[in-house]
Copies of this chain bind each other. A is one copy, B any other.
Amino acid sequence: MVEPRVYQALAQPVVGHLDPYFFEVVGEVRRLLRVAFGTANEFTLAISGTGSSGMETAIGNFVEPDSKFAVFANGYFCDRLTEMGKRQGAQVVRLEKPWGETFTYEEAAEFLKRERPQTAAFVHAETSTGALQDPAAICKAAREVDALIIADTVTSLGGVPVNVDQHGIDVAYSCTQKGLSCPPGLAPFTASPRALERLNARKTAVREWYLDLKLLMEYYDGRKYHHTASSTLFYGLCEGLRLIEEEGLEKRFERHVKNHHALVRGLGQLGLEMHVAEGRRIPTLNTPRLPQGADDVKIRKHLLDRHGIEIAGGFGPLAGRILRIGLMGPLSTESCVQMFLGALQEAIDR
């Protein structure tokens, strides 16, 4: 859900991609993204594409051909990371876990010490399962083998703490339409000084001109023409980030957690068990298991047709086994939780 103020911002007059006013907005977006990411990284900005272009930027710039790339694999987006790494010509190695589980430091350390990759990637909040990975467990292990660490924060940024600097994440990317409650179209991105050193030491040119971070730095820092960034999308993102600043990031996280707990309690009262273990759940994306014999398509259709509520089903190994309930931004309220639980009970009982 997008706030009215963000919609108003989208309708403001378009200005040129080198207009001083555009760079004012870009500056504000960069400042506010640093807060959301929990980083002092100078190189924090928004890529002109959707969240997946953020993933492509991370892989295209930081996974070199013929290098070894380690992926922590416990859901759908790890497979996408794997695919992109292979297309870059890297040797991809994976540590596998069932969908919905997460990795401990010991597991990560054993894997990374054995493989010694140049780069490793994990998904912070996995949309396909509802599991939240502790970044500390993986980042500590990655540092011990001097692997650059990429975090997919598509579903976490703005919804749960990311704390890039505290955890020692080198590269993180996200989208605008989840925790930041804006329309899709831009990919927030941050890279540490250590990551940029690695980039400067690359032996081969980045293949994607459009997503080449060095060229993007010359554009956003040096105001040298690269591509025509969309002032429209930057206006929207800027207003969405200002709304988050006004609420306060910590208060926003607390609100998400409080309503998450209320939802989980209510789901329990309906007899639904959560797919992910307590303490590893994404507060903004809740994944209860379906009751015995329940039909997820029917339940979701009832919710949409009768109540205008859109939730998602499971897919891959979790198809037909879980529901995926987004509870983030302006929708994460006590009354939304109560309304949803009533509608869900009705849908299950039918």
Partner-B contacts on A (CB < 8 A): 2, 7-8, 10-14, 16-17, 48-53, 55-56, 60, 80, 83-84, 87-88, 175, 177, 183-185, 205-211, 226-233, 236, 310
Contact = CB atoms under 8 A, between A and B. Distances in A.
B56 A230 contact: no
Contacts of A84: 209
A232 B183 contact: yes
Nearest to A226: B52
B11 A207 contact: no
B83 A177 contact: no
Nearest to A232: B183
A87 B183 contact: no
Contacts of A49: 48-49, 53, 210
Count this chain's copies in the assembly. 2
Contacts of A10: 10-11, 232
A55 to B, nearest CB: 8
A184 B228 contact: yes
A209 B56 contact: yes
Contact of A50 (B2, B11, B50, B229): B229
10 contacts: A10-B232, A14-B177, A14-B184, A48-B185, A56-B210, A87-B206, A88-B207, A183-B232, A185-B232, A185-B233
Contacts of A14: 2, 177, 183-184
B17 A230 contact: no
Closest 3 CB pairs of A and B: A185-B230, A183-B232, A52-B227
Given A51-B228, A52-B209, 5 more contacts: A52-B210, A52-B226, A53-B210, A84-B209, A184-B229
Contact of A184 (B8, B230, B236): B230
A123 to B, nearest CB: 16
A327 to B, nearest CB: 16
Contacts of A51: 227-228
Given A11-B7, A11-B10, A230 B233 contact: yes
Contacts of A209: 52, 56, 80, 83-84, 87
Nearest to A80: B209
Nearest to A185: B230
A88 B65 CA distance: 13
Contacts of A56: 208-210
Nearest to A154: B228
Contacts of A83: 209
B232 A236 contact: yes
Nearest to A230: B185
A118 to B, nearest CB: 18
B87 A177 contact: no
Contacts of A210: 49, 52-53, 55-56, 211
